[in-house]
Chain A
């Protein structure tokens, strides 16, 4: 009775939940996490392991891959995809920071250098301490202004652009750009201060 296609039951589940969430049902977001997180984590670790052997992968591509696997061929609307990426951003941050923390275990009080690298995944492997500091700074930023922290997460951890971020946050693209600029400056200053 079951073709393999049916066995991938998460497909329609993920799509429905995304739709519900972007339709305003906040509980749907919570239901999505257990569906998405394990797959994302599994794949991220697979790639992180390879990266230590000299390979790299952009987190965006990775989230694309998870999305393609989970959402299946039933194409949800554009907004739903942006929402998927938004969820993935928070998870990606957690996965990479946890990974960095483990790699960096035991080393304390290291000098903090500003991040100039292109993407989170590379940092997690090469400068695990930087990612841990960034994570702490983000936490402080979130306390000050939660939306700024979300913008950074979506941009830096999964590579969403201004338009997509604006969709998820239900705000204008211009606002997102302003958020990004000031958040970036704020984080940069914060990391310099603690260096």
Chain B
């Protein structure tokens, strides 16, 4: 009991060195190495080595997250010409997430088939069950755009599945092969969308929609494959929808699917339903149309963060606005804001193709997707674009402000504003990340760099932009009614800056300031006149449970009170928000 500690504490560095050296040796040379060690060290190292051998699964085993649980690389190859039942192996087609896929010949019916083998390492009971379920689910769905399962079986202890052979490649290959117009893309994917809608009708979720799971034949016909992660979606109350990581489906808590195509609810391990598939489908559609993924990053976590928080940059303007809107709707963060059923999306996409078919004219081609490199091609794909769509509203307002009379029909002007070099625009629904001044002449927006966010100003009439000193950390800004000052909040503090006084006086507290602001999602609004003294302060919270309207004015400390009030409402709203 104490020998380990006593020996260890005195000679630990030596023990450590000897252990590391011995562990690297092949077993036959270990003994020779060990006998050369001093007696006390040797005893320690020997027991540790023995513990090491027995501890292969202790604490999860490996230090590499991927190797503990994720699919390991298949180590299994089958020679061409091998006869398995009625099938003769011809060649290796590829390696999937769970095993190898071979091309084979069905000698009975003399037709080519694809055979998918569960990799040897994954041949445990859980993986086998999953494999069987994939087969059962897929074969229970009959749809021209779902890959047909012909047969299943076992070969030398390995499960296999015999699939319809699709003579071409994946959607990724298809998109890379040549430039595709949006019409081609939509026309191809409508089939997949319809297949998905059919699966949803049967309460089957796919859960792993990605370009590599969509096969495209030479005839230009798409098939949805790999219902491997699909799981029967029980018909239960929305609050109790089955979780992504049910113990039956995957290793406990393992995040299933490919990160880049996951929905926010999959990423955060919340219950998923068909709207999660709709999101993933939206990601695929976006990637094909834009030539880049909507959410990308250097690491898994960065991608996950993008999925949960970031709004993808707008799709190219050349695409029909109804198509852009359809994709955006599929990519809404909140499932409640998305298409509620795949069927609805299919209807929209069909209508889109139909309507557009009637409009003659050249259809612009879109950049061909090159996942990974994400090199933007074609016009209009400014890397750091932003705002265009959001500005639509502002531009309209601008027009309205300047020309109240109804002389000419209102014209919508769309334009893009490039971000300052090295910065990003990260708008969210909960923040006022950009605002046009009431006089319509200036745009204020937050630009984010590695160092954080700050407010930038641009005169709409000129291309010049400048950052506003002292606004570091500001996320939300509002214009004063005279368009001369900006009010913004940094952490808990409200600050004001007058942009026209020269030299600029930061944090000028102005009693003239009047402002009204809305908390977008929580329906909180706070207003104040005479901000400097924080008098006549009002804060109303509309959406707080149990407290529908509480209004009050506060005394000298009302700045603080405003924060507290807003925070309180937030907290309550969060607590009561459906999860």
**A3, B518: Cβ atoms closer than 8 Å:** yes
Q: Which residues of B contact A101 (CB under 8 A)?
A: none
Contact with A along B261-279 (1 / 0, CB 8 A): 0000001110000000000
**A4, B519: Cβ atoms closer than 8 Å:** yes
**B64, A162: Cβ atoms closer than 8 Å:** yes
B489 sits at the interface (CB 8 A): yes
Secondary structure dominating the interface of A: helix
**A4, B520: Cβ atoms closer than 8 Å:** yes
A109 sits at the interface (CB 8 A): no
**A178, B20: Cβ atoms closer than 8 Å:** yes
Interface size on B, residues (CB 8 A): 84
Q: Which residues of B contact A77 (CB under 8 A)?
A: 450
CB-CB contacts below 8 Å: B423-471 with A: 426, 428, 430-432, 448, 450, 452-453
**B60, A1: Cβ atoms closer than 8 Å:** no
**A188, B269: Cβ atoms closer than 8 Å:** no
Q: How far is the CA of A3 from the CA of B518 in the complex (A)?
A: 6
Given contacts A1-B494, A65-B268, contact A54 B247 (CB under 8 A): yes
Q: How far is the CA of A153 from the CA of B471 in the complex (A)?
A: 39
**B48, A182: Cβ atoms closer than 8 Å:** yes
**B20, A1: Cβ atoms closer than 8 Å:** no
B199 sits at the interface (CB 8 A): no
**B476, A152: Cβ atoms closer than 8 Å:** no
Q: Which residues of B contact A56 (CB under 8 A)?
A: 245, 247, 252-253
CB distance from A176 to the nearest CB of B (A): 7
Given contacts A140-B5, A188-B58, contact A5 B431 (CB under 8 A): yes
Least CB separation from A177: chain B residue: B63
CB-CB contacts below 8 Å: A157-183 with B: 159-162, 165, 176-178, 180-182
Which of A12, A116, A143, A190 contacts B4, CB < 8 Å? Answer: A190
**B64, A2: Cβ atoms closer than 8 Å:** no
**B520, A144: Cβ atoms closer than 8 Å:** no
CB-CB contacts below 8 Å: B524-571 with A: 524, 526, 528, 562-563, 566-567, 570
Secondary structure dominating the interface of B: mixed
**B566, A7: Cβ atoms closer than 8 Å:** yes
**B573, A4: Cβ atoms closer than 8 Å:** yes
Q: Which residues of B contact A67 (CB under 8 A)?
A: 301
**B52, A185: Cβ atoms closer than 8 Å:** yes
Q: How far is the CA of A188 from the CA of B269 in the complex (A)?
A: 32
CB-CB contacts below 8 Å: B291-307 with A: 297-299, 301-302, 304-305
Q: How far is the CA of A162 from the CA of B302 in the complex (A)?
A: 18
Q: Which residues of B contact A192 (CB under 8 A)?
A: 51
CB-CB contacts below 8 Å: B76-97 with A: none
B54 sits at the interface (CB 8 A): yes
Q: How far is the CA of A122 from the CA of B297 in the complex (A)?
A: 31
**A185, B51: Cβ atoms closer than 8 Å:** yes
Q: How far is the CA of A180 from the CA of B58 in the complex (A)?
A: 11
Least CB separation from B269: chain A residue: A61
Least CB separation from B311: chain A residue: A73
Q: Which residues of A contact B566 (CB under 8 A)?
A: 1-2, 4, 6-7
**A78, B252: Cβ atoms closer than 8 Å:** no
CB distance from B74 to the nearest CB of A (A): 22
Q: Which residues of B contact A104 (CB under 8 A)?
A: none
CB-CB contacts below 8 Å: B54-70 with A: 54-55, 57-60, 63-66, 68-69
Q: Which residues of B contact A178 (CB under 8 A)?
A: 16, 20
Q: How far is the CA of A88 from the CA of B251 in the complex (A)?
A: 23
Q: Which residues of B contact A176 (CB under 8 A)?
A: 63
Q: How far is the CA of A145 from the CA of B302 in the complex (A)?
A: 33
Q: How far is the CA of A162 from the CA of B62 in the complex (A)?
A: 10
**A189, B51: Cβ atoms closer than 8 Å:** yes
B143 sits at the interface (CB 8 A): no
Chain A CB within 10 A, most for which of B1, B305, B452: B305
Interface size of A as a range: 35 or more
**B20, A182: Cβ atoms closer than 8 Å:** yes
Q: How far is the CA of A13 from the CA of B68 in the complex (A)?
A: 34
Given contacts A155-B60, A193-B4, contact A119 B252 (CB under 8 A): yes
**B310, A186: Cβ atoms closer than 8 Å:** no
Given contacts A7-B566, A77-B450, contact A68 B59 (CB under 8 A): no
Q: How far is the CA of A192 from the CA of B50 in the complex (A)?
A: 12
**A4, B522: Cβ atoms closer than 8 Å:** yes
Q: How far is the CA of A2 from the CA of B68 in the complex (A)?
A: 45
Chain A CB within 10 A, most for which of B59, B297, B428, B453: B59
CB distance from B489 to the nearest CB of A (A): 5
Q: Which residues of B contact A115 (CB under 8 A)?
A: 58-59
B376 sits at the interface (CB 8 A): no
Least CB separation from A54: chain B residue: B247
CB-CB contacts below 8 Å: A99-117 with B: 114-117
Q: Which residues of B contact A5 (CB under 8 A)?
A: 428, 430-431, 475-476
Which of B55, B299, B520 contacts A185, CB < 8 Å? Answer: B55
**A189, B48: Cβ atoms closer than 8 Å:** yes
Least CB separation from A188: chain B residue: B55
B19 sits at the interface (CB 8 A): yes
CB distance from B544 to the nearest CB of A (A): 12
Q: Which residues of A contact B302 (CB under 8 A)?
A: 75, 78
A71 sits at the interface (CB 8 A): yes
B33 sits at the interface (CB 8 A): no
Contact with A along B1-13 (1 / 0, CB 8 A): 1001100110010
CB-CB contacts below 8 Å: A47-90 with B: 54-58, 60-62, 64-65, 67-68, 71-75, 77-78, 81
Given contacts A152-B59, A178-B20, contact A9 B492 (CB under 8 A): yes
Which of A3, A58, A61 contacts B520, CB < 8 Å? Answer: A3
Q: How far is the CA of A25 from the CA of B567 in the complex (A)?
A: 29
Q: Could you pull out 30 A-B pairs where Cβ atoms are within 8 angstroms?
A: A1-B487, A3-B517, A4-B430, A5-B475, A5-B476, A7-B570, A12-B453, A55-B247, A58-B252, A61-B269, A68-B304, A74-B452, A75-B305, A115-B58, A116-B58, A118-B251, A119-B253, A144-B12, A145-B12, A151-B63, A152-B59, A156-B60, A159-B65, A161-B63, A176-B63, A185-B19, A185-B49, A189-B4, A189-B47, A189-B50
Q: Closest 6 A-B residue pairs measured CB to CB? A: A58-B253, A5-B430, A73-B309, A5-B431, A2-B566, A56-B252
**Which chain B residues have a beta carbon within 8 Å of chain A's beta carbons?**
1, 4-5, 8-9, 12, 16, 19-20, 23, 47-52, 54-55, 57-60, 63-66, 68-69, 243, 245-247, 251-255, 267-269, 297-299, 301-302, 304-305, 308-310, 426, 428, 430-432, 448, 450, 452-453, 473, 475-476, 478, 487, 489, 491-492, 494, 515, 517-522, 524, 526, 528, 562-563, 566-567, 570, 573
- Beyond A140-B5, A144-B12, A185-B49, list 12 extra A-B contacts (CB 8 Å): A2-B489, A2-B519, A2-B524, A2-B526, A4-B430, A4-B521, A5-B430, A6-B476, A56-B245, A65-B268, A177-B63, A181-B23
**Which chain A residues have a beta carbon within 8 Å of chain B's beta carbons?**
1-9, 12-13, 15-16, 54-58, 60-62, 64-65, 67-68, 71-75, 77-78, 81, 114-119, 121-122, 140, 143-145, 151-152, 155-156, 159-162, 165, 176-178, 180-182, 184-190, 192-194
